[in-house]
Structure 1
Amino acid sequence: MKQWIGFAVAAILAGGCTPPEVTEFSATLIPLPTKWEKASDESLCITGQWNWSVDPSWEVVSPVWQDWLQVDRMDSHALAVNLKVIQKEGLADEGYELRVSKEGIEVFASTETGAFYGLTTLRWMMSTEVSGEVALPHGLIQDAPRFPHRGLLLDCCRHFMEPEYVKRMIDLLALHKMNVLHWHLTEDQGWRIEIDAYPRLTEIGAWRTEADGSTHGGFYTKDQIRDIVAYAATRQITVIPEIELPGHSNAALAAYPWLGCTGEQMEVPHDWGVFKDIYCAGSDSTFAFLETVLDEVLELFPSEYIHIGGDEAPKVRWEVCPKCQRRIDEEGLHDEHELQSWFIGRIGRYLEAKGRKIIGWDEILEGGLPAGATVQSWRGMEGGQAAIAAGNDAIMSPTSHCYFDYPVESTDLEEVYGFEPVPTDLQGSGRILGGECNMWTERAPQHLVDSKVFPRLVAMSEVLWSQPEQRDWSDFRLRMERHYSRLDAWGVEYGWETVPISM
């Protein structure tokens, strides 16, 4: 396996080196762990090699973990510190304990995921300097995330991103204990996923002619997608695909015009915005198409959830489409908003029969929320509140704090850190699953994405992992200053925290 992000990790026993200054966990880790108990004033010096001992049930993933703590600047004279990864029942699914003592380091977890996060915390404690040494204080970290859904939406439709870049972003998510890549794969401006039954989706829909006459596009083959999904799984990242419907579908309509209400031929758009042509809700062939597409999607993505979009779907075509109007009459619907709810509900039931659940943007509330659907609230917090009140789950990603395509003039690092996903007046039986930061790419081709996402994703990682009473902006800023050396070592081309002061 190729290691996309690596820096030297080495360890020897405390007696074998000149102890450097002790690095306190609370001064360096992001996100901040739930609890740290110092055992003594003694410390463990880290500069050489690991002597691994892994619970037998996890031996199959041990090579991945050793790669994660890769030693690429070996000290041949160094003695090995004991690193034990031990299964311990009763901890949270993603929780872990990390103990540092004179005997070495022990990571306890109930699950493979928890063990991985414990090792990730250890990785954060390593020096990024070529000859760096670290002294770890003796003590115990007890840690677990606040929310089960901690994600980044990556829009690879407006601007295509190379598979290697997607893997690199997966590494960066894992290093910050984020656990979801929401992969936006279909859009007006490009269809990015290979579908065997409908080859024109990538022959036509994956490419567009820009205003200057150049061609932009690309798509991911099934083998590339399988590779990326498998790679993400080794980093405890779930990849959730988004297949937009009924709107944001012009690339598909350009490939197969019969999917729209008019049947007219169109080009894949090169400009941004909301387009009036969407999937025809009155045509049975639309649903045969979507079900076939989703069948192939399910073969590639084992995720519990499939994101179906549902946002920004103008109804102007449906209002004058005889097939759509007939559908409204036959189904006893009142208007086009209820037709969209029926559309989403039909797709949701199809996926439910396949053992999956749907996520949709907060527009799926309009016309009635389909049973079992999770709402991703982006137009403020109200969509999430409405979902909870209806007994559904919600993911919070409002434009006010979570849209990383926005410049820092609109949303700076401090504002992201101040985000609270749970409203104070929340009522209902649904759950806030967590949140996402959204990286839309209308104005951010691949080479600019780093500078949009970082350092803001670092702040969001603590918002979604740590408890609210732990958060302190001044303390975070100090830890963030230390973290920039890691981002440099990991090759992240981060942007500004806030608007620079003019001199």
Structure 2
Amino acid sequence: MTFMKKRVFFLFSFLFWAISPVFSQNFYPILPKPLVLEPKEGTFILPPNPVIAVAGTDPVLRRLAEELAHRIGTAAGKDTKVFAGNFRVRDGINFVTGKDAKLGEEGYLLEITPKRIVITAEQPKGFFYGLQSLLQLMPAEIYGSVRAENIPWSIPCCYIEDRPRYAYRGLMLDVGRHLYPVSFIKKFIELIALHKMNVFHWHLTDDQGWRIEIKKYPKLTQIGSQRKETMWGHYSDQKYDGKPYGGFYTQEEIREVVNFAREHFVTVIPEIEMPGHASAALAAYPEFGNNPDKLYQVGTKWGVHEDVFAPREETFRFLEDILTEVIDLFPGQYIHIGGDECPKNQWKESRFCQELIRKEGLRDEYGLQSYFIRRIDRFITSKGRKIIGWDEILEGGISPNATIMSWQGTEGGIAAAKQHHEAIMTPGNFCYLDHYQADANTQPIAIGGLTTLEEAYSYNPTPAELTPEEAKHILGVQGNVWTEYMPSSEYVEYMTFPRAIALAEVGWTLPSHKNIDDFKKRLNIHKKRLEYWNVNYFGAPLNRTFIYQWPSKK
């Protein structure tokens, strides 16, 4: 072959490589983006009767394999069998338990050749995440609930080595302001798991509603879960709908949700607010407030309320009783105790609080807040658990065992890490999904602010100010869905997705591997999957987009 012919040959070979769907990055639309993805030539074609072989007898792996078989059977109409044993099948899918220390609890290997598919992991969670990547390489119809006709059930060949950047990858849902059915809570958890996030932070109490059944204190739900009306329209309108609103989750329902989350490798972290955001609790049990003669009521207005718990011994016993039941319901290591937006006026005006400040040698009311948090920290620690608090619990001095959730910016997380405390980064300008995501004039009402998909995606949770040793204390990242302006589950979906998917990639993928244009290309393919999941995401087709009519702000 002459020199010129060689040049032409290699040029056409390169162009084929660049545009071929086998090698195109867009042909591997996995979210979040894997650590290593090596395209390979060819495809694996699902045979008429696929076989899934599971190495060993782990019942969890067997369940995952059965779920995959069911999905293939439903969407592709193929009779898929699951076998257990230490062998690998051709023309099938193999779950292989590996002992590769670099994979860890959540890592996996996925190898797809024309002859077989092999998922290798050390732990069930790794197999689960490997399975999510495999499903995302199949046609989107794999997520359908009926058989898809005339679909080429082929999967592009590749080699994937994958594990997450951060151990904590969470999404918070506020049910204090608006309540959502258990069916939607489960769907929300499924979507968390689908995107390889692993924490559901359940904000269960606030001024506007107490949403968790506590057997010892039934008035928390009899009274505290009910408000007489709800703000209608934007806060500045100061309008109300005049309609009673209420509801709560029974302990049976909570156990159902926790078990469902466990099956999807998602940890549920409950949040019980204290010492502030206590209006609903005090409406039920006013004796634990700073003025027992006051007629407290469940909040009807958004924002910060003055009513806070009094730091009396009987209050701590009350909260410890509540937390005892909460701990019994939620087996994860963390209990979130809030700690944010605690006004100090009632403590300043309380003779008891001022005497307690002097008795304990506290600096001021901020020191009293720290005293309050330390008391709760000791109790939760005695139960073998850890507390998480919003970054205000740094005020007056951090509690010994506390993990900080940094929302007012990155400063709280930086301060915690420098004091060798663990921190979860969730600064509002990147991670608050109640903000507008486009021009407010084109969108349903939101609380304010603007956090675009691009801005959420650009976030790096590890602050540059930290040394490598300090940076180890950054556990991860979380998106927060505050629901003052989200009266329905459709509205929650509209505000949450796809920005939560961007944050999922922030938590999983190394910054050097991220690219917003590449992310958007993968997301465009992923949107069809969201439609099969019946997710009302922002930008969905017009016949699916949710519009909620509020009074005019004028």
Q: If the length of structure 1 is used for normalisation, what is the TM-score?
A: 0.91
1:405 maps to what in 2? Answer: 434
2:513 maps to what in 1? Answer: 470
Gaps of 5+ in 1: 1-19, 498-503
**Counterpart residue identity of residue 459, structure 2:** F
Find out whether 1:100 has 2:119 as its counterpart: no
Find out whether 1:67 has 2:86 as its counterpart: no
**Counterpart residue identity of residue 411, structure 1:** T
1:432 maps to what in 2? Answer: 474
Aligned mate of 2:95, from 79, 85, 88:
85
- Pairs within 5 Å for 1:189-200: 189-200=208-219
Distance 1:300 1:473, change over 3 A: same
The more displaced of 237-246 and 27-36 is 27-36
1:17 maps to what in 2? Answer: none
* 8 Å Cα contact 2:54-2:65 kept in structure 1: no
Give, in whole Å, the separation in 1 of the partners of 2:245 and 2:117: 50
2:30 maps to what in 1? Answer: 29
The more displaced of 161-170 and 405-414 is 405-414
1:381 maps to what in 2? Answer: 410
1:3 maps to what in 2? Answer: none
1:12 maps to what in 2? Answer: none
Shift of 1:125: 1.4
Find out whether 1:423 has 2:463 as its counterpart: yes
Shift of 1:436: 0.5
Give SS of 2:74's match: coil
**Counterpart residue identity of residue 75, structure 1:** G
Distance 1:67 1:25, change over 3 A: farther
Give, in whole Å, the separation in 2 of the partners of 1:342 and 1:326: 14
Give SS of 1:306's match: strand
Find out whether 1:481 has 2:524 as its counterpart: yes
Find out whether 1:144 has 2:160 as its counterpart: no
Give, in whole Å, the separation in 2 of the partners of 1:24 and 1:44: 16
RMSD: 1.9
Distance 1:115 1:64, change over 3 A: closer
1:441 maps to what in 2? Answer: 483
The more displaced of 87-96 and 286-295 is 87-96
* 8 Å Cα contact 2:402-2:421 kept in structure 1: yes
Aligned mate of 2:388, from 348, 353, 359:
359
Q: Deviations over 1:211-270 (max 9, x none)?
A: 333121111111100010000011110000001000001100000001100012221111
1:15 maps to what in 2? Answer: none
1:53 maps to what in 2? Answer: 53
Shift of 1:496: 4.0
- Pairs within 5 Å for 1:260-299: 260-263=289-292, 264-281=294-311, 283-299=312-328
Q: Percent identity?
A: 42
* 8 Å Cα contact 1:185-1:191 kept in structure 2: yes
**Counterpart residue identity of residue 113, structure 1:** K
Give SS of 1:56's match: coil
**Counterpart residue identity of residue 120, structure 1:** Q
- Pairs within 5 Å for 1:201-240: 201-210=220-229, 211-240=240-269
Shift of 1:456: 0.5
Give SS of 1:348's match: helix
1:115 maps to what in 2? Answer: 127
Give SS of 2:354's match: helix
* 8 Å Cα contact 2:391-2:407 kept in structure 1: yes
**Counterpart residue identity of residue 443, structure 1:** Y
Shift of 1:78: 8.7
| Bigger radius of gyration | 2
* 8 Å Cα contact 2:199-2:266 kept in structure 1: yes
* 8 Å Cα contact 1:48-1:74 kept in structure 2: no
Distance 1:352 1:254, change over 3 A: same
Provide the aligned length of Structure 1 versus Structure 2: 476
Give, in whole Å, the separation in 2 of the partners of 1:374 and 1:271: 30
Q: Deviations over 1:178-228 (max 9, x none)?
A: 100000001000001110000000101111111333121111111100010
* 8 Å Cα contact 2:54-2:61 kept in structure 1: no
Give SS of 1:52's match: strand
**Counterpart residue identity of residue 425, structure 1:** E
* 8 Å Cα contact 2:23-2:41 kept in structure 1: no
Find out whether 1:414 has 2:457 as its counterpart: no
Gaps of 5+ in 2: 1-19, 82-89, 142-147, 230-239, 439-449, 541-554
Aligned mate of 2:206, from 176, 179, 187:
187
* 8 Å Cα contact 2:22-2:42 kept in structure 1: no
Give, in whole Å, the separation in 2 of the partners of 1:364 and 1:396: 15
* 8 Å Cα contact 1:21-1:135 kept in structure 2: no
* 8 Å Cα contact 2:51-2:80 kept in structure 1: no
* 8 Å Cα contact 1:190-1:251 kept in structure 2: yes
* 8 Å Cα contact 1:47-1:133 kept in structure 2: no
Give, in whole Å, the separation in 2 of the partners of 1:223 and 1:399: 33
Give, in whole Å, the separation in 2 of the partners of 1:346 and 1:48: 62
